[in-house]
Structure 1
Amino acid sequence: MTETAELNTEHRHWILIGCMLAMFMAAIEVTIVATAMPTIIADLGGFSQFGWVFSIYLLTQAVSVPLYGRLADMWGRKRLLFIGVSLFLLGSILCGFAHSMAWLILFRAFQGLGAGAIMPLTSTIVADVYSPRERANVQGWLSSVWGVAAIIGPLSGAWLVQHFSWSVIFWVNVPIGAIAMLLLARFLPSREQNQATTLNLTGSCWLMICVTALLVALLQAEVLGFWLVPFLLLAVIAAWRLKQHEQRADAPLFPLEIWRSRLIVAGNIGNLIIGASMMGISAFLPTWIQGITGGTPLQAGSALAMMSIGWPLASTLSGRLMLITSYRFTAQLGALLLIAGSALLLLLRSDSSIVQAGFTAFVIGTGMGMTSTTFLVSVQNHAHYDIRGICTASIMFSRMIGSAIGTALLGAVLNLNLSLRLPQADDPMQKIMSPESRQALSEATLHDWTGQIASSLHWVFVVSLLIALLTLWVAWIMPRQRPEVE
């Protein structure tokens, strides 16, 4: 690998802006929709289905990410990104016209299919137009998009719903996506691909079956009951068939170079761990603040937003740190910060302040930002142009799967503890989270329940800490090299 970028262009800053706009459009969609969901449910009904509004978006996105990554290596980044943005915008427009929860879920699936291209391909395009030395800093700029989206999303969503129809929260994507496509159409050069132009359809089908079955099993574990086992069994069988097919395929979805590279495998394992560890704070810190300390949703959101602030700051810092130290040192420092932040979760008490919770979230965010950026940049610098798309997609795919696994694992830990500690209580978590139900409980019952739930959540944080400890092992695998010597 040389110091030069594969696509030489004098307008890299416009390409970067276009990629950041496209990524912002997909990033803000998660937080802005979450804010508007109460209003949407009041209008469309279907409360029992509202979880699928988020699950279907994650599902279709996760299924399509590796496919887009491989197709981008075969057919070109520009073409596939435009297809993805177009699907995302089509889904956004249709979501605004949904007249029932079922139609909204269907249109959210289109959004997820588009987001599956946006996330990996914007990062891959930026890696193509910047040299290995520059990528470390530029990936920090891309990470900052998530921090901005996490802050702007809830605020803008609340304002739009208050002053306009909830449909507007989907339609605001259209001008952002249009500007991004115009910039990239004007300034991003196309590059002819020399590889075969046929997609490995059999491998793609097995991959989709495997990922779909796995994610449905993990995301809907409580609802499925006994049917969880058939879904997991289907995922295992599909994974085994995919492995067999990939070993014989002329154009495998995941080229053999990926599995032969210790660094690329380590980067994927690292992001799998980060995704799982992230759910320990994303899903359960707000639960602690609202359920144990009796805080408001605004206080919970404010504390969690500190993670989104710490992530891009650390990501930018890690880019500079890699240039003067090494991949390994930067990843190890990030792993130690992640472990320290996860340990701070265990210090939370019923009288802990929002400041303490926010500081804990910030430390965890810095650890995640530093490790994830180091893993991504090291893989992109190590991968040849012809497989960089699938390598970048595999990193993001691993993080999504890790998040789903973390949600299921930590949720199971919480439910197991609650069933052991409060066997006679009927949905105690829901009752202490609701202000009305909380006030209806007697003082003795409330004190007992909050104590038992706090102990249960501490076990969730213990498991989250154990998961975070694994990042230190992955960081040790990173090479003692700086980006400029790739």
Structure 2
Amino acid sequence: MGQTKGASSDENRILKRPFILAAIMLAMFMGAIEGTIVSTAMPAIVSDLGGFSLYTWVFSGYLLMNAVTVLIYGKLSDLFGRKPILTIGIIIFLIGSVLCGFAGSMEELIMYRFIQGLGAGAVAPVATTIIGDIYEKHERARVQGYLSSVWGISAVLGPALGGILVESLTWRLVFWINIPLGLLSMLGLWLFLHENIERKKQNIDYQGAFLLTLAVCAIMLILVEGGVHWAWSSPQVIGLAALAAAALALFVRQEKKVSEPMMPFEIWQERSILIANIVSLATGVIIIGLSTFLPTFVQGVMERSPTVAGFTLTAMSIGWPIASTIAGYLLMKIGFKSTSVLGGVSLIAGSVVLVCMPPDAGPLIAAIGSFLVGIGMGLTSTSFIVMIQDTVTWERRGIATASNMFMRNIGNTVGAALLGGIMNSRLAEYLAENNGSGKHLTIDSANLLLNSEERKSLPAKAVEVLQSGLTLSLHTVYLIILLFAVISFVLLLLLPKKEQKED
């Protein structure tokens, strides 16, 4: 296996580490700000481009490509070095960002988001693995805390900046602000990160990557369209379910027979890694549910501005870095399990606040729930990465780190599709039963709630029906989020108290 070493000398490596860390944090900043700034801008984007029924595909398309490429990038970084693979990912991400800003329809935007996601798959796993490479064990908890906090710190600016750009300029700038961030990150990487790569001929598991992509795409189509445009018992849903099952079975068979599998199943035999990865899938559902649908509730139901909606997500972004920083110290004091369990408690508390939130509660209550979820994410995500990198050897660190990122991305992808499908289905059902406003209302009529001027032009009865339907459908979404939080907490209780550590 090709091995990625740090710098050519220990002294040089230590001197350059702060600059490498800064470049990595910029790359992570770029990926993190993309999530909250687009969530904040989406109501304005939908209002401009139309197509509310395609709302979740803007997130699902991005997350799908992110999810299915993260393992490929993790493996390639082990073979060819972290720097070139991360650079390629950033370049693809920036190309997608430029194109998204020029989108003229929702369909175009979704297509360009696929390109963005293709590049984004490299950022988190490779950047996190670099930290594991250049810092010693006793330093990783603290530094991974810094790195995890970037997702929160950057997102503090995301909602605020997204709201300002949407209200004052144009939503297209929310994609173009990535360009200087990506260029600065690449500059830092190529100036300060020097690797010595032992090159050997390797077999990349392209067949495994294809089968995994096929399975995830089929599952996501079922979750997005099932119950909305296709009946659950329709030939389309049944056919896609059969395709997904067959692709997953072939994927498992493929991974067992190849010498260098896309997903080496032996790392899952470590109990701590198995639990951490399953919980990461669950928390991926939670975080995408909050990021995607909370701004819609605040704008469409509470009738607040995009800026106010953005600041409810900012609360999560404040809680995340605070908890990530604290986690670095808690890991040394009370261990991985206790730190993770505390995070699980906070996830449940935040979800309960959202479930119990009435339409007239005001954005402060939404922000409190968001903040508690952020605390939970900061404690669990930092604990998992440090635990995984301490459990495996160097030779498996890249793919082990990528597997955890993969599971969270799968959670994001499936969560966006599942929760979006539930929201659309519940809203369509409600409108069909309560469409007595004198105006024909459909799922896409919810577009009108997200624009204050268009909302004022609607009859009062139509606004009432749409808001009631949106409240009901989003309340169902929050109940699903709470369920995943409870599942996460139960699994965290099963973590071993002491993890096996290898050099």
Q: Which residue of 2 aligns with 1:112?
A: 117
Change (3 A) 1:99 1:451: closer
Note if 1:66 corresponds to 2:83. no
The percentage of counterpart residues that share the same residue type is: 40
1:380 match? 389
| CA–CA separation in structure 1 for the residues paired with 2:35 and 2:205 | 31
- Indicate conservation of the 8 Å contact 1:270/1:372, yes or no: no
Secondary structure of the residue aligned to 2:262 is coil
Q: Which residue, out of 447, 459, 465, partners 2:482?
A: 465
1:211 maps to which residue?
Answer: 216
Between the aligned partners of 2:405 and 2:128, the Cα distance in structure 1 is: 10
* Partner of residue 438, structure 2: none
Which residue, 179, 184, 206 being the options, matches 1:174?
A: 179
Return 75-84 or 454-463, whichever deviates more. Answer: 454-463
Amino acid at match of 1:379: I
- What does 1:238-387 align with in structure 2 at a 5 Å threshold? 238-387=247-396
Is the CA contact (8 Å cut-off) linking 1:291 and 1:433 kept in structure 2? yes
Q: Structure 2 counterpart of 1:233, which letter?
A: A
Instruction: Flag the 1:159–1:324 CA change in 2: closer, same or farther, 3 A.
Output: same
Distance 1:182 1:234, change over 3 A: same
For residues 47 and 429 of structure 2, what CA distance do their matches in structure 1 show?
36
Shift of the 472–43 alpha-carbon distance from structure 1 to 2, 3 Å rule, reads closer
1:387/1:358 Cα in 2 relative to 1: closer, same or farther (>3 Å)? same
Shift of 1:414: 4.4
Between the two proteins, the alignment pairs up a number of residues equal to 481
User: Structure 1: how far apart are the matches of 2:308 and 2:266?
Assistant: 47
TM-score (normalised: structure 2) = 0.83
What is residue 21 of structure 1 aligned with on the other side?
26
TM-score for the superposition, normalised by structure 1: 0.86
**Deviates most, 66-75 or 279-288:** 279-288
User: What is the DSSP-based 3-state SS (H/G/I as helix, E as strand, rest coil) of the residue aligned with 1:60?
Assistant: helix
Q: CA RMSD in A?
A: 3.4
How far apart are residue 378 of structure 1 and its match?
0.8
Return the alpha-carbon distance in structure 1 between the equivalents of residues 55 and 352 of structure 2.
33
Does residue 152 (structure 1) correspond to residue 169 (structure 2)? The answer is: no
Task: Provide, for residues 318-342 of structure 1, a one-character-per-residue CA deviation record: whole Å limited to 9, x for no partner.
Answer: 1110111110000111111111121
Q: Which of residues 129, 138, 148 in structure 2 aligns to 1:124? A: 129
- AA aligned opposite 1:286: P
Provide the rounded CA distance (Å) in 1 between the counterparts of 2:471 and 2:165. Answer: 36
Are 1:83 and 2:116 counterparts? Answer: no
1:199 match: secondary structure: coil
Q: Which amino acid aligns with 1:254?
A: M
In structure 1, distance between residues paired with 2:50 and 2:477: 33
Counterpart position of 1:12: 17
Which ranges in structure 1 are unaligned for 5 or more consecutive residues?
Answer: none
> How far has the Cα of 1:405 moved from its partner?
2.7
* Cα pair distance change 1:292/1:105, threshold 3 Å: closer
Query: Could you tell me how far 1:146 is from its partner in structure 2?
Result: 2.1
SS in 1 for 2:493: helix
Structure 1 residue 159 displacement after superposition: 5.4
CA distance in 2, matches of 1:168, 1:351: 32
Q: CA deviation at 1:427?
A: 3.7
Amino acid at match of 2:355: L
User: Is contact 1:88–1:112 with CA below 8 Å preserved after alignment?
Assistant: yes
Kindly indicate whether the alpha-carbon contact (under 8 Å) linking 1:76 and 1:193 is maintained by their aligned counterparts in 2.
no
Against the structure 1 CA distance between its residues 281 and 170, is the aligned structure 2 distance closer, same or farther, given a 3 Å change threshold? closer
The 1-side partners of 2:476 and 2:209 are apart by: 39
Deviation at 1:308, TM superposition (A): 1.6
Quick check: 2:159–2:313 contact (8 Å CA) kept in 1? no
Q: Secondary structure at the match of 1:68?
A: helix
Q: Distance in 1 between matches of 2:52 and 2:42?
A: 10
User: For structure 2, which runs of at least 5 residues remain unmatched after alignment?
Assistant: 436-440
Cα separation, partners in 2 of 1:157 and 1:251, compared to 1, 3 Å: same
* 1:275-334 deviations in Å (ceiling 9; x for gaps): 122244334433443444443333222212211211121111111101111100001111
Q: Which amino acid aligns with 1:467?
A: F
Q: 1:297 to 1:229 in 2, by over 3 A?
A: farther
Q: 1:85 to 1:281 in 2, by over 3 A?
A: closer
Q: Are the equivalent residues in 1 in contact too, given 2:40–2:306 (CA < 8 A)?
A: no
Distance change in 2, residues 1:204/1:416 (3 Å): closer
Quickly say closer, same or farther: Cα 1:50–1:427, change in 2 above 3 A. Answer: closer
Tell me if 1:55 matches 2:60. Answer: yes
Letter in 1 for 2:30: M
Q: Report whether the alignment pairs 1:201 with 2:206.
A: yes
Asked if the contact 1:310–1:362 (Cα under 8 Å) also holds between the matched residues in 2, the reply is yes
1:105: how far off? 4.5
Change (3 A) 1:223 1:398: farther
Contact 2:344 2:485 in 1 (8 A): yes
Distance 2:167 2:472 in 1: 38
Partner SS for 1:477: coil
How far has the Cα of 1:442 moved from its partner?
A: 4.3
Shift of 1:174: 3.3
Show CA shifts across 1:145-174 (max 9, x none): 222332323444565678877765544433
Task: Provide the residue aligned with 1:477 in structure 2.
Answer: 494
Measure, in 1, the Cα distance between the counterparts of 2:63 and 2:427: 28
- Superposed, 1:373-452 pairs within 5 Å as 373-414=382-423, 418=427, 423-425=433-435, 426-427=441-442, 430=446, 435=452, 436-437=454-455, 440-442=458-460
Contact 2:93 2:119 survives alignment (8 Å): yes
